[in-house]
Structure 1
Amino acid sequence: MHLATYLGLLEDSEKQLTDAFEHVAEKHRDEPDIEQICQKFSAWSRNHHGQILGFVEKYLEEQEDEPDKLKRDLFARNRSGALALLRDLHDLWLLTQQVQLCWTVIRQAALGLRDEELKACATECAARTKRQTDWLLGRVKQAAPQTLLVAE
């Protein structure tokens, strides 16, 4: 059974997402909405990470090494200015997509296993992740015209 592989991938992805939201909150604290909402979303991802740990233990098997440095690679550049916010929001959106897909895969596995507790966890956490993704997409749409079309 390869469920443990995806649980490990999700655990790592939620941790990276938690750290990334905190990074963006700190870096863009001068933006009125960014610091507060990113801190809130970081707390959600931290909660998701905590919830998944019990399932990692339950289904623990030998795990394959998976790429676990997505956040580091996405946020590697030292960016500044208006474009930095847009790129950081873009990178956060990519991380939330990783997490969303993991929750979807794990929910499907939970259905196959008839593990109601895992299914409920995946359903709840996927819904919150969808809210993160939707907010980020809306914020990217808001920032894009000003950032891309107005010279600094």
Structure 2
Amino acid sequence: MHLAHYLGLLHRAQLNLAEAFRQVADAHQAEPDIHHLCSRQAELCDEQARRLRPFAERYAEEAPEEPDRLHSELFRGTRTGGIGLLRDLQDLYLMATECDICWTVIGQAAYGARDRELSDVVSASEGETAVQLAWLRTRMKQAAPQALVVAD
């Protein structure tokens, strides 16, 4: 069953996203909302990964390399300054989008497999990921004028 592949993909992607949120929170402590909200989002990603664990075991989780590759190619550490914050938020957005589409695909598989428990986890997590994406998009909109128009 290939569902195991996507469960492994999503599990690793969530853990990588949690770590990236932590790095951004630490790097941009001067921005109180960034530090607090990125730390909170990291905890949420950890929780989503924890919720996946029973299903990964049930479906014999495979650990594909794609999420680590995505993390290393996309997120090579944090940057400084306004433009750095904007780029870090954009990286987080792209990583969260990877998780979002994985939740969608797994949700469809759960429906096909008639796995109600997995469907419930997917439903809750899709909503949480949508909120993450909305916050990241809003925060990028807020940071863009200062970072792109006003000189440092």
TM-score of Structure 1 vs Structure 2, range by shorter chain? over 0.9
Q: How many residues align?
A: 151
- Shift in CA distance, 101/26, structure 1 to aligned 2, threshold 3 Å: same
Instruction: Give, in whole Å, the separation in 1 of the partners of 2:140 and 2:63.
Output: 34
Q: What is the identity, as a one-letter code, of the residue corresponding to 2:25?
A: A
Aligned counterparts, 1:87-126, within 5 A? 87-126=87-126
Deviations 1:24-67 (A, max 9, x none): 00000110200110111111100001110110110016x37332
1:92-148 deviations in whole A, cap 9, x for unaligned? 000110000000000000100110000000010111011000000000011111111
- In structure 2, the CA distance between the partners of 1:77 and 1:27, relative to structure 1 (3 Å rule), is closer
Between the aligned partners of 2:35 and 2:81, the Cα distance in structure 1 is 16
Q: How far apart in 2 are the matches of 1:103 and 1:34?
A: 25
Q: Quick check: 136-145 or 72-81, which moved more?
A: 72-81
> Is the aligned partner of 1:65 residue 2:60?
no
Distance in 2 (CA, whole Å) between partners of 1:64 and 1:13 is 10
Q: Which amino acid aligns with 2:127?
A: A
Runs of at least 5 residues in structure 2 that lack an aligned partner in the other structure: none
**Alignment partner, residue 54 of structure 2:** 54
Partner of 1:29: 29
RMSD: 1.4
Give me the TM-score of the superposition, normalised by structure 1.
0.94
Mapped partners of 1:34, 1:64: distance in 2: 31
* TM-score of the superposed pair, with normalisation by structure 2: 0.94
C-alpha distance in structure 1 between counterparts of 2:22 and 2:78, whole Å: 16
Query: Percent sequence identity over matched residues?
Result: 44
Counterpart Cα distance in 2 of 1:37 and 1:29: 11
Give 1:78 shift: 5.6
